[in-house]
């Protein structure tokens, strides 16, 4: 089955709006990923700093401007290999 752009637009307009939480997550994910990238890079350059970050990850995220949400903590732990 093939659809043209008008048909797709009509079908999409029928859908309900995305939940607010999904929209907010989509807006914050790029900043979250960039912040964790920076933190992981710093941790990779300095073993002592890495140990401090791992020991108190919530504070390290907060000091980096990242809200230490369960998702952010899980992603940081995964990226740090802890």
pLDDT string in tens for the chain (82-residue length): 677 999 999 999 999 999 999 999 899 899 999 999 999 999 999 999 999 999 999 999 999 999 999 999 999 999 999 8
- pLDDT attached to residue 73: 96
pTM of the entire predicted model: 0.72
Name the strand (E) or helix (H) holding 65.
none
Sign, CA dihedral 33-38-42-44, equals positive
């Amino acid at each position: 089955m093939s659809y043209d752009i008008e048909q797709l637009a009509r079908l999409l307009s029928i859908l309900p709006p995305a939940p607010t939480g999904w929209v907010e997550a989509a807006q914050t994910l790029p900043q979250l990923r960039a912040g964790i990238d920076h933190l992981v890079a710093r941790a990779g350059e300095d073993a002592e700093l890495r140990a401090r970050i791992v020991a108190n990850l919530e504070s390290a995220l907060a000091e980096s401007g990242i809200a230490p949400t369960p998702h952010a903590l899980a992603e940081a732990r995964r990226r740090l290999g802890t």
